Amino acid sequence: MGIGERVRYRNGDGISDIQPDWGPDTTKPEITLTTPAEGATYTLNESVTADYECADEGGSGLKSCEGDVADGALIDTGSVGSKTFAVTATDNGGNTSSVSHTYSVIYDFNGFLSPVDNPPTLNLVKAGSVIPVNFSLSGDQGLDVFADGYPTPQKIACDTGVPAGSCRGDPKRQREQSHLRRE
């Protein structure tokens, strides 16, 4: 019999229920989800171990504490994008809690390579020139590495670099012209 359950007993009038002295457990388990933290960002295939724990008050005791992977096991960083990690805890009184954190996995991008200099440098080129935009993502990640709608052209103020509205351009054509260096 678990704590918080009713007890059946036989007396002179028949069978009755009584509530045990300790009463029912109405307190939900508490979950501390440390890793992944809410809003955390990791690079593709980064080794990140889940870190969480559960605790229960109310008398019945913790029954389960389960995350998408076990505490101390590697979380999913095998593809880029937004991901969630959830932990659910239950106690022996039937109370359930769950916590979910959203995290991001991104490519291991460390800026552009020659001939493009990275911000805050403003690269000056002759109009009409073809500029190879070289960068590394720590390995061949294929050609589908751009977010939807990118790369995209944008006007800036030459003296401040502040964006000054959109300009005409064909992102698809620019994508085709982008030159990827593979390692």
Q: By the criterion CB under 5 A, which residues form the site for Ca ion?
A: 25, 27, 56, 58, 91
Beta bridge partner(s), residue 183: none
CB of 61 to Ca ion, least distance (A): 8
Nearer to Ca ion by Cβ, of 77 and 92: the residue is 92
CB of 33 to Ca ion, least distance (A): 18
| Contact (CB, 8 A) for 2 and 91 | no
Structure tokens at 29: 């388990």
- Find, among 105, 94, 93, the residue nearest to 44 by Cα: 105
Instruction: Give the chain's end-to-end CA distance (angstroms, integer).
Output: 62
Nearer to Ca ion by Cβ, of 63 and 175: the residue is 63
- Separation CA 128–CA 8 (nearest Å): 88
Nearer to Ca ion by Cβ, of 23 and 111: the residue is 23
Q: Which residue is nearest to Ca ion (CB)?
A: 58
CB of 94 to Ca ion, least distance (A): 9
Structure tokens at 135: 């960068």
Residue pointed to by tokens 């085709």: 176
- Residue 70 DSSP symbol: -
Nearer to Ca ion by Cβ, of 24 and 151: the residue is 24
CB of 19 to Ca ion, least distance (A): 16
Nearer to Ca ion by Cβ, of 42 and 91: the residue is 91
CB of 97 to Ca ion, least distance (A): 9
